[in-house]
A and B are shown apart, each in its own frame.
Chain A
Amino acid sequence: AQTVTQSQPEMSVQEAETVTLSCTYDTSENNYYLFWYKQPPSRQMILVIRQEAYKQQNATENRFSVNFQKAAKSFSLKISDSQLGDTAMYFCAFMKLMNYGGSQGNLIFGKGTKLSVKP
C-alpha cells in the first residue's frame, strides 16, 4: 500500500522569505501523480501544484515549485516570496495511475504541514 509522510507538523516563515515543505512517499509503482493541496483556515482546500512521475522537469506555478526526486521518493514544495495569504495547512498527496475502470483513482493524503507566514 502507498503511504505519504509529511515529517513537519508545523512550520513558520517570515513574509517575503522562502520556505520548503517536505514530503516523502512509499510506493512500488512507476506511474503516478503527486500533488500539493492547500487548506487555508476555514476555507476550501485547493490544488496548488501537480507533478507527473514520468516527467523529469519539476512543476512550477508562479511562486510555488517542487523538487521531485523519484529515486529518493521525495516531493518537496518550495514557496518563494511568502505572503500572509500562504498561511494554511498543506497536504501532499499521491495517486497511482491505473487503467480505466480498474481502480478508484484514489488520492492518498499525508497528515499535513501547518504553515504560518509571519509579518
Chain B
Amino acid sequence: NAGVTQTPKFQVLKTGQSMTLQCAQDMNHNSMYWYRQDPGMGLRLIYYSASEGTTDKGEVPNGYNVSRLNKREFSLRLESAAPSQTSVYFCASSERWDSGELFFGEGSRLTVL
C-alpha cells in the first residue's frame, strides 16, 4: 500500500534556484493538497486541487505554482526559491474535497540557502 508518495524527501537549494516537488497517490482520490509545516506552527495550505482539472490557492500560495497532471499526480513548483521557503512540505489527498479526511505523504524537507 503506497498511499501518497512524495519525491524528493530531502533537497537543498540556493536562493533563486527552481525545483518541483512531485506527489502521487494510488487511492483514486479526487482531491489533492500541498501543505507546508514550519517549526512551532501547524500546517498551512499552499494550494489544493478539488478535482482533476482544477487548482486553487490556499492560505500561503505566494512563490509557488502547482499542476494537477492527472488524477494521481499533483506537483508543486518553486520558480525562484527564497530562504523563507525553507520548510517541510506535505502532500495529501482525500476522496472528497470537503471531507477533511486527508491522507498524507511522508513529507519533503527543503532547505533554501
Contact = CB atoms under 8 A, between A and B. Distances in A.
B100 interface: yes
B45 A104 contact: yes
Interface in A23-58: 33, 35, 37, 42-47, 50
Interface residues of B, number: 26
Interface in A94-115: 95, 97-98, 100, 103-112
Interface residues of A, number: 27
Contact of B58 (A4, A97, A106, A110): A106
A88 interface: no
Nearest to B45: A106
A108 B42 CA distance: 8
Given A44-B104, A44-B105, A105-B31, A4 B42 contact: yes
Contacts, number: 60
B56 A104 contact: yes
A111 B98 contact: no
Contacts of A107: 43, 45, 100, 102
Nearest to B56: A104
Say whether chain B's binding surface is mostly helix, strand, loop, or mixed.
loop
B40 A111 contact: yes
Contact of A44 (B3, B31, B98, B100): B3
Interface centre among B31, B41, B102 (most CB of A within 10 A): B102
B97 A105 contact: yes
A8 to B, nearest CB: 14
A91 B58 CA distance: 19
Given A91-B42, A105-B50, A106-B45, A50 B98 contact: no
Nearest to A32: B100
Contact of A33 (B3, B43, B100, B104): B100
18 contacts: A35-B101, A44-B106, A45-B90, A45-B104, A47-B101, A93-B100, A95-B100, A100-B98, A103-B98, A104-B58, A105-B48, A105-B50, A106-B48, A106-B58, A106-B59, A107-B45, A109-B42, A109-B44
